[in-house]
């Protein structure tokens, strides 16, 4: 559907031209709904079908009681989403993303940065160009690429790949797997759960683990890797 | 039966929660867990001084009350620093997360009850280790003090029984 597409299902979608209103942030709050946001490079409006939208200066706010929220936004739009339950899916390239949900899977394609909090939902992120901060109760957190990472779960596994900044992972009972893209500091902690950290070849890391103690490197070090597991194995390696 | 009159008091409610306490108890046993709870209470009590009070223990967390929001926030920062120092010194094994809200409560003996208490508890559930989350109401109460600049927006959450979403902010560290 284009910006001036005809109405579907007998009604016309609400469209807010972002160039006229300078909308840079879309806020969505729902009680229990699946939220799907699609960023489109060719789009210059926020398109919200069958949804009440209020625009105040640079922010468009949608407070919906619908069971499904489907939005189309221009690329680079900042998103703030709050829902009690329901899947949150963000497709395409967006700006900063903030999601707070009680339960429901959260999937994010490409964000400038993100802050996701969920009590019991899996979180899957393909790319965060900046910091990725995720706090989850019982869901697995999986990030394919990010800048700095700060991830906490109570009982969900943490998998961070291609981390291009400082990495922090905290898990009460679950495995932590971190693959670093560069020589950045790493802090990983589990109460019970294995920790595996992979560093790029040639990284001179000062490694601090309970089992091995502090492993000094000759000369200068590039980064500090601290790993603490109450009962799990800790493995720090280069590739 | 006559119902005694109870006056509402406005102040700041803080909930603390130990991250990973259940797993810690499972691994180290009940006696070690009790030691951690005792240590948490002593760290928190020392950090808040006479600025507030620990209302009660709730599982592995504490509920605290502050008459003044500014005192509550400075005490909260003192708790965060105190726990971080204890962890660095291997004197405390777990992280603490916290949530704060301001509002009216009713005193019931030494306890406090009210909807504001439920909201503060929900806010703490969404915080990360070593993090303080606060509600919009906290930030609005800080507008004149300049302390609001220390917080970053997180997003809205829904709390059962509250029609409007509650907006959260985190203390930037």
**One pLDDT digit (tens) per residue for chain B, 173 residues:** 566 667 788 999 999 999 999 989 998 999 999 999 999 999 999 999 888 999 999 999 999 999 999 999 999 999 999 999 999 888 899 999 999 999 999 999 899 999 999 999 999 989 999 999 999 999 999 866 667 778 988 989 887 777 788 999 999 87
- What lies within 8 Å, CB to CB, of A32 at 6+ separation is A67, A83, A84, A85, A86
pLDDT tens-digit profile of A17-30? 555 558 899 999 98
Name which residue leads in pLDDT, A32 or B93.
B93
- Do A237 and A199 meet the contact criterion of CB atoms below 8 Å apart? yes
Q: Is A140 on the interface with B (CB under 8 A)?
A: no
- Do A139 and A153 meet the contact criterion of CB atoms below 8 Å apart? yes
Nearest to B36 by CA among B56, B53, B14, B61: B61
Q: Is A139 on the interface with B (CB under 8 A)?
A: no
Q: Is A98 on the interface with B (CB under 8 A)?
A: yes
Cα–Cα dist A158/A169, whole Å: 7
pLDDT tens-digit profile of A42-68? 998 899 877 888 988 899 999 888 888
Cα–Cα dist B74/B81, whole Å: 11
Rounded to a whole number of angstroms, the distance from the CA of B116 to the nearest CA of chain A is 19
Q: Do A115 and B155 touch (CB under 8 A)?
A: yes
- What lies within 8 Å, CB to CB, of B108 at 6+ separation is B6
- Mean per-residue pLDDT over chain A, rounded: 88
Burial of B3 (0-12, 13-18, 19+ CB in 10 A): exposed
Residue A104: CB atoms within 10 A of its CB come to 23
Q: Do A154 and B19 touch (CB under 8 A)?
A: yes
What's the pLDDT at A102? 86
Nearest to B69 by CA among B167, B1, B19, B137: B137
pLDDT tens-digit profile of A84-131? 888 999 999 999 999 999 888 999 999 999 999 998 889 999 999 999
Model confidence at A4: pLDDT above 50: no
Q: Which residue of chain B is at minimal alpha-carbon distance from A150?
A: B128
Model confidence at A221: pLDDT above 90: no
Q: How many beta-carbon contacts under 8 Å exist across A and B?
A: 79
The continuous run of DSSP H or E covering A112 comes out as strand A106-120
Rounded to a whole number of angstroms, the distance from the CA of B1 to the nearest CA of chain A is 40
Q: How many contiguous H segments (helices) and E segments (strands) does chain B have?
A: 5, 8
Name which residue leads in pLDDT, A194 or A230.
A194
Q: Do A100 and B26 touch (CB under 8 A)?
A: no
Tokens of A163: 């981390």
Identify from A26, A29, A187 which residue to disrupt to test chain B contact, counting B C-beta atoms within 10 A and taking the largest count: A29
Cα–Cα dist B155/A118, whole Å: 12
3-state class (DSSP) for residue A185: coil
- Reported as a pLDDT band with limits 50, 70 and 90, residue A3 is very low
Cα–Cα dist A86/A102, whole Å: 9
Residues in chain A: 239
pLDDT tens-digit profile of A133-158? 999 988 899 999 999 999 999 989 99
The single residue listed with the structure tokens 């992972």 is A169
Distances (CA, A) of A7 to A1, A4, A66, A67: 10, 9, 19, 20
Please report how the helices B30-48 and B21-28 are oriented relative to each other, as an axis angle in degrees rounded to 10: 140
Distances (CA, A) of A65 to A34, A50, A61, A100: 11, 11, 13, 17
What's the pLDDT at A168? 97
Q: Is A154 on the interface with B (CB under 8 A)?
A: yes
Q: Out of B26, B28, B126, name the one closest to residue A117 (CB).
A: B126
What's the pLDDT at B93? 92
Cα–Cα dist A189/A177, whole Å: 11
Q: Do B158 and A154 touch (CB under 8 A)?
A: no
Q: Out of B20, B154, B165, name the one closest to residue A115 (CB).
A: B154
What's the pLDDT at A15? 65
Strands A213-215 and A205-209: antiparallel
- Under DSSP, the state recorded for B119 is H
Taking any CB pair shorter than 8 Å as contact, residues of chain B touching chain A are 19-20, 22-24, 26-28, 93-95, 125-129, 153-158, 165, 168
Q: Out of A100, A133, A150, name the one closest to residue B168 (CB).
A: A100
Name which residue leads in pLDDT, A15 or A59.
A59
């Amino acid at each position: 559907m284009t910006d001036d597409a005809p109405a579907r299902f007998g009604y016309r979608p609400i469209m807010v031209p972002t160039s006229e209103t300078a909308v840079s942030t879309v806020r969505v709050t729902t009680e229990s709904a699946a939220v799907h946001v699609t960023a489109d490079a060719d789009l210059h409006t926020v398109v919200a079908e069958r949804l009440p939208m209020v625009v105040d200066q640079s922010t468009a706010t949608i407070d919906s009681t619908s069971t499904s929220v489907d939005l189309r936004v221009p690329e680079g739009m900042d998103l703030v989403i709050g829902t009690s339950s329901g899947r949150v899916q963000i497709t395409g390239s967006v700006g900063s993303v903030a999601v707070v949900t009680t339960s429901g899977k959260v999937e994010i394609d490409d964000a400038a940065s993100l802050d996701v909090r969920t009590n019991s939902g899996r979180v899957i992120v393909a790319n965060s160009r900046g910091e990725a901060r995720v706090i989850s109760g019982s869901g697995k957190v999986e990030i394919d690429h990010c800048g700095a990472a700060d991830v906490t779960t109570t009982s969900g596994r943490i998998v961070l790949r291609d981390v291009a900044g400082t990495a922090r992972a905290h898990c009460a009972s679950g495995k932590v797997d971190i693959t670093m893209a560069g020589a950045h500091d790493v802090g990983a902690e589990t109460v019970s759960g294995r920790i595996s950290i992979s560093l790029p070849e040639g990284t001179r890391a000062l490694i601090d683990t309970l089992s091995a103690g502090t492993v000094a490197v000759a000369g200068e070090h590039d980064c500090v890797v601290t790993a603490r597991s109450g009962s799990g194995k800790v493995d720090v390696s280069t590739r | 039966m006559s119902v005694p009159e109870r006056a509402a008091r406005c102040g700041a409610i803080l909930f603390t929660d130990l991250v990973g306490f259940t797993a810690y108890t499972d691994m180290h046993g009940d006696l070690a867990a009790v030691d951690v709870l005792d240590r948490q209470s002593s760290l928190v009590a020392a950090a808040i001084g006479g600025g507030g009070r620990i209302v009660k223990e709730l599982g592995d967390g504490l509920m605290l009350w502050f008459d003044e929001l500014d005192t509550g926030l400075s005490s909260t920062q003192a708790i965060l620093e105190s726990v971080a120092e204890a962890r660095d010194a291997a004197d405390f094994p777990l992280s603490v997360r916290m949530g704060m809200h301001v509002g009216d409560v009713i005193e019931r003996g030494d306890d406090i009850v009210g909807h504001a208490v439920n909201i503060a508890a929900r806010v703490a559930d969404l915080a990360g280790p070593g993090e303080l989350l606060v509600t919009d109401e906290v930030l609005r109460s800080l507008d004149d003090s300049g302390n609001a600049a220390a917080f970053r927006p997180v997003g809205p959450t829904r709390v059962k029984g509250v029609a409007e979403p509650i907006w959260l902010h985190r203390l930037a560290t």
